[in-house]
Amino acid sequence: MPGISIYESLKNVAEYIDCSENVEFEYRYKYNFLPDVEKRNFRNIVLKSLIEMYNGDRENIRFPETEYPVASYVSSFVNSVRGIVSEGIIPVEWVEDFTKNTILNSEDKKEVQVALALGEYFLADNLVNEVGKVFSKSGNYIFYDIGVIKRMKNYNTFLFELIKNTDGVIKLYAAEYIEEIDISITNYMFNEGYKDKYYPEFMVGLVMNTFNRTAYLRRDGITDDEVNNFCKLFAETFKVSGPEIFRGEIDFLDTLLYKIENQGKSIEALYSIIAIAEIILSDDSVEVDEEELIDGIRALAGQQRFKDAVKEAFKDASFEFSSLAIMAEEAGVDINFNMVKAYLDKNKYDLSIYKELLKKESSANRVELVNYVEENLDFSDIVGNMEGISLREERELNEKEKIFGLVLVELSKIYPVGRELLKLGMEANSTRIRKVTAKVLLRLKKQLPDKFVDYVASRFSMEIIPEVKKAYEKIINRNVDKKLEKVSTDDIRVEKNPKDIYILESYIAGLAYKDREMLERELREDARLYMKRDYSNLHDIKAVKIVSKSGYVLGFLPKKDNEIISRLMDAGKYFYCIIDKVDMERLHADIEVYLSYKDVMKEVSQIAKAIISDPRDKRFN
């Protein structure tokens, strides 16, 4: 026993249904990528079955086995049917009967969709109004019904009513096919018609791309609210589509900028100002004085009304943060911690907020942010399980670790605020975070209380990264007396001579045990340093001191390099060195050692004797 037809079911429906999650919408607006070859194949399957029905070889339409909707090939099918009718392969009367009977009686969704599409050309006039109204109630059929609706008397008025009274795909298709024959339609679409419960982003894009934007803005009596609301639509479209969609539309952009200059005051209006500048500057077809345009845009953006809009937007925290930060900069508004608090309350792990705030050279901002981090962020999942991976294998940090690292770097500027975070940094799972922490601790070495240094000492044995262990060692040994030793340079001073002999590359040992302020003053790349034997050194009888021109002892020639040079110096030879590179963070200085030309030729024989006969080293005998 046959059931009720789709047509009869929809006649009894009092409201609009199936407005969202529509396969036709998904295909047309999101994934419209079915290759032409497949479209033809699908069309041919349906077309062949229609001809077979006419010939009496089958009773119903055959559809291809595919997940693609009928919408993907129905247009090609309709055009093919019109072709075979015009060629007399199938009589038009038969197609008209098929269309009418299928629409009114079929219980099969796809059959009805195909028949509705044919209805644009083959449905009897006396059925058009009724069929158009009935199938417009369902999102499953509105796309196929549009051709029938366009045949209705006063169809534009009917579509306008659909736009006013529906949401989702029904409203979208009505807006797509309505004709903009009256400014009242234009006004409604930009004031109210863009709103949609199911597809708000698509509806805004459709309105901005379909309706006359310039006419709307230029009409008499446009209010401030309407201008600022239009800026909201423009901003949303720009965010989704970028500048390309508006390139070449200088008349529209000029009109919008004029309206904003006179009536704009919202954050979206400020966003639009900046977007307009980007569109124009990226359009090679437009001749413009860039400097003049930028100056004009900045002067407009810097007006008090837009400064106020930025501040209100921070309170509301509904605008995308990174875009708002850019607008704040253009409007000349300094961002502080209290302004971003609303954004942090929405998402306390938003990395962009921390980056933006820490760009500002403000100790107050840093202190408030660090206090917030200590009170509100949970780092328990990124500490306590140290990774001992090599530098080459260091993994990418996750968002929380990036925030942690950013905050740690700033702690040297506001110490002792954030001291507990430094402890957590020493326990971080990530090698990178521990390295960052170690560098910060080195900068704070002199300020750390003894109790904290004791904690560093407790972590020393647990740490397995050499770079970090070395930093901890320097902190632990910070209280070792830093010598500020000064000697006379009268007997070791030599002048540079082109005939001086280059001996070897080396470095200055023992810098960590010298006064840092003195080292920062004396260690300069390309500086010439003197060398002096240290006969009183109990640890190394061949020790050679390295002395600055001011007479300060900077350190020693390493043991591995001092054996021959000390013998030559004992024999009366003069040496000096030139600083090649200085790294104060690592307390390291590379040097090049030279033998002075002074008395070289006269004492060659004495040098040989000194090396051979010195009883302190029998290896030369």
Q: For residue range 286-311, list pLDDT tens digits in order.
A: 888 889 999 999 999 999 999 999 99
What span, in angstroms and rounded, lies between the C-alpha atoms of 563 and 61?
101
What span, in angstroms and rounded, lies between the C-alpha atoms of 155 and 133?
10
Enumerate the H helices of 242-320 as residue ranges: 250-263, 267-281, 290-301, 304-316
DSSP conformation class of 394: P
Main-chain dihedrals φ then ψ at residue 511, nearest 5 degrees = -60, -35
Q: Express each pLDDT in 349-407 by its tens digit.
A: 999 999 999 988 788 999 999 999 999 999 999 998 886 554 445 678 899 999 999 99
**pLDDT of residue 620 exceeding 70:** no
CATH architecture of 501-620: 2-Layer Sandwich (3.30)
Q: Are 549 and 528 spatial neighbours (Cβ–Cβ below 8 Å)? A: yes
200 prior amide bond cis, ω within 30: no
Q: Are 105 and 5 spatial neighbours (Cβ–Cβ below 8 Å)? A: yes
Query: What is this structure's pTM?
Result: 0.69
Mean pLDDT for all residues in the chain: 90
Q: H-helix or E-strand containing 205?
A: helix 200-210
Q: Are 374 and 396 spatial neighbours (Cβ–Cβ below 8 Å)? A: no
Q: Is the dihedral of CA 315, 317, 322, 327 positive or negative?
A: negative
Section 57-70 average pLDDT = 93
Q: H-helix or E-strand containing 343?
A: helix 337-346
Of 135, 142, 180, nearest to 160 by C-alpha is 180
What span, in angstroms and rounded, lies between the C-alpha atoms of 436 and 207?
51
**Structure tokens given for 346:** 């929405």
Among 46-55, 394-403, 495-504, top mean pLDDT goes to: 46-55
Assign 3-state DSSP to the chain and report helix, strand, coil percentages, each to 5.
60, 10, 35
What span, in angstroms and rounded, lies between the C-alpha atoms of 160 and 158?
5
Q: Is the pLDDT higher at 58 or at 386?
A: 58
* Tokens 């910060």 belong to residue: 440
Q: Where are the domains of the chain?
A: 6-179, 501-620
CA angle 397, 399, 405 (to 5 degrees): 65
Sheet holding 553-556, edge to edge: 501-507, 588-595, 575-583, 528-533, 544-547, 553-556
